[in-house]
Every structure is written in structure tokens, then in C-alpha cells.
Amino acid sequence: MPFAEFTDGLRVGHEEIDHQHATLFDAVNRLHGALRTGRSREEQGGILSFLRSYTVDHFQMEETYMKEKGYPGLESHRVLHHALIEQVMELEDKYAAGSMTLSIMTMHFLKDWLTNHIQNEDRKLAVFLRANP
Ligand SMILES: [Fe+2]
Ligand SMILES: [Fe+2]
């Protein structure tokens, strides 16, 4: 069983959003695997960097939908996105500077953040998008 399983319960019913969430979970699993099997810093750093850039793109995609459709929760949703990006960028910088190693705690943080965000925020957005196609 993967570390972060993208279960059906995590699907919000929007094809593009679900697909990107699955890719994010996949990257978290790859990073977890690289950590667990003691892969090189280079390899771990590469996955971390992919995770950061894919997360930025994914959040932008959601925010574009919110803007286009006049989603009332845009501002608060965007604040949450922004806060995670800041944290992941800090993580990436520290990691690249050699001042930290990835920990299982970090992996749990990422997995829990994504899970909670999808269930609480992205699900609301998907419901809105279905009602406002
Ligand atoms: Fe999302
Ligand atoms: Fe989101």
C-alpha cells in the first residue's frame, strides 16, 4: 500500500482537479519512497522540486477556475494555497542549502495537508463548479 493512497473518497468529481490531485499524491509517494530507501539528496531534491512546481501550477489552475466562475470563497482558498507554497518553498530552499534532511514528519505534514485541503476546500470548489458550469 502506498504511503499516501489516493482513494476514491478523495475524488471531488472534477476530472482535471482529480487527475492533478492523483499526480500530487504520486509525487508524495515517490518522495516518501526515495526517503525510505535512502536515495541520494539529488534524487530527493529533484522530486521535491517537481512537487513544488506542480503544486504551484495546480493551485493556479484552481484559482483560474475560481476567478472565471466568480467563486465566493476565492480569497480564503487562495490564502491557504499561498501558505502551503511558502512552506514548500522554504523546505526546498533549506534542503537545497543542505541545512536540513527530509523527515517522515515532513512527509506526514504534506500528506495530511493535501488530504484536509481536498476534503474541506477543493470539494466545496468542485460542488460550486458543478453548479456553475
Ligand atoms: Fe487542489
Ligand atoms: Fe485548492
59 CA to centre of ligand 1 in angstroms? 6
- For the entire predicted model, the pTM comes to 0.95
pLDDT, tens digit, 9 for 90 and up, residues 13-26:
999 999 999 999 99
Ligand positioned closest to the Cα atom of 24: 1
Q: List the Cα angle 20/23/28 in 5-degree steps.
A: 130
Domain ranges of the chain: 12-131
40 CA to centre of ligand 2 in angstroms? 31
- Residue 48 is placed in which grid cell? 521535491
Give the residue ranges of the chain where pLDDT is below 70: none
55 CA to centre of ligand 2 in angstroms? 10
How is domain 12-131 classified at the architecture level of CATH? Answer: Up-down Bundle (1.20)
